[in-house]
Structure 1
């Protein structure tokens, strides 16, 4: 298979699978963070203070943490198509059920259950993408997928604040309409996903038979090489210090991300903006997040350097958050948050290209899930701390400094750990292994 032929097949796979995966991820993230916009009205209606809200925003990730690894191991056994569809259907129903929240207790319980239902979606898709794309393409692919986060926020911000204007229609509060109208479409899309997504290249009837065989052979050869070098033992993978380091880096990145995302509407509202103005201004940083996700992923694959592109993205995040803290109370903070967003979402591209360097088989399924679930504990810790800081200090300034420090700690760990000891942290130009009769890219 000539390089041009491999590019052609990968391009066909990309345009067939990525739109569906992307739409699913946008829906997932809208359902995850719409509570931040609901809080503009819901907190006052239900008597929920900043500390309880921060706990509720974060407790989602406790459920996520507990069920993440089992979910990904099940996905490897039963197939991505059925399991990811199941995840989407159940989390959509639970997201819609948030409209029935009556107070702090039901708020916390439903947020926990929502996290348990969504557990496995993101690492499941990351694992799924390694079944389809040779590693020479993965940073770009992961970067394109990660763009779903800022896109969901850029779309979800004005959409959510617009839905809040339905307050009083049919006797429902605006925040109740928000949960209902953003949750039910996710459930319906789960059935679309079930009907259209194949598990592996060999199952893709929309690829020519020779293309199916060639792509599957390249993927299988790469996975055999990783397995031969590093093994497929789940226990060995969990004890690998590289996995622990990646988990911390993702913990810091996710904490900075969600610590900002859950409180950004309230930070902007405190400058005197209306609900609609808040929604529109909230979208601005995430437009830059889209640019960062695509650009840094392209640079990472182009330079074949995961270490410096990841460290640079994290440093951009830390700098933007620190300057946003300094500018809290003014709209200059939006510009600095845009800088932070470019780093937050750009860093995901080189980051997710790293686990498949030393993980395959069950080790990849469990290891990627472990990175994601431990990392997502940052989504519990950071919002809880930012909420506590806001309640005790009366300002979001110190909370933004805390998030900046968290991101900077990930820069240090990246520079110390992702080096020659990491193994193939700086991949060769093209797939590490190709089957007989295929050429290197």
Structure 2
């Protein structure tokens, strides 16, 4: 199985057709037996997507007759993959050039192969260095300029470097089916390295979970940040709980797990197809107390008023760029404003659905103030029967100025924001 051939197929799907890297990569990783090949493919693809702007800038330096956008997509992506290997991987350049010339011949013709050969050889020998920080660290210029308005240059560069670093895998042990101690024994028995973190069910693991020698009903891949968030909600046994934007069900099933599957959980999802993901995940995890409703949470209504509401709002996702690097090439600055309008609508409806004394946890995986603190300021000015409260059941270092704020760079996870709101009258 030719790894670079697979890489070309995947990178073309992601950068040309809008596919999600993690989903399509996972499909191929299951078919690759050699661990070194899996690691190489993962690094090559994530690195190429993360460094796309710098790669395109480098390639464009040596294009004389065409712009990079005018190249055939398969040649453009062969050049991106080859340039990434040359600039960022410890592989002899002659070997890289040779492999991608062969690939260019296979998918193109002699002329395109000659172009690939000439460009990669020049890139290998000259290795130009960009001066502009947004190019050097491969982030959209508008995003760099936006962050610089509220960050010092050094902090901004550290954030961009962090976004370009390899992400870490966290898992959640399904304590409805296995005890943490028994699960950890199985990991040790199979020489899987892990680190126990803040909660009994939370592990950081170095072996990709799809290859863990343990049944999939016993664990779930879930970033540390969202595990902390569900604990911050602190749902109670036998309570009524609403998850307003539930698919694919990761946090929904975590809530069920923390309440020992005794709470009544209503999971709302706008997309009927995605709602099936909640059902499938609940079945896999052995959960019985989730009712799934297909509807729009910005105006959906229930006769019941809920004790706990999780509103993990649709957002720009700019706190997840290590795991989902394609986001930075797809999102536009005006999307942030558009998201903040939707988030306010969802918050307003949540206020109508929670009972007196109950709690709303509003959360996002972004670092943009318009989607975070500014939304809460707006909400509290409009709904004076609510107050901001601080959860006491998570480590204090995750709470800042009354908000849940997980600074990803400190904990090797996604950035995450949360505000816990209580209806007091």
TM-score clears 0.5: no
Say which structure is richer in helix. 1
> What TM-score, normalized by structure 2, do the two folds share?
0.27
> What TM-score, normalized by structure 1, do the two folds share?
0.26
Say which structure is richer in strand. 2
Greater Rg over alpha carbons, structure: 2
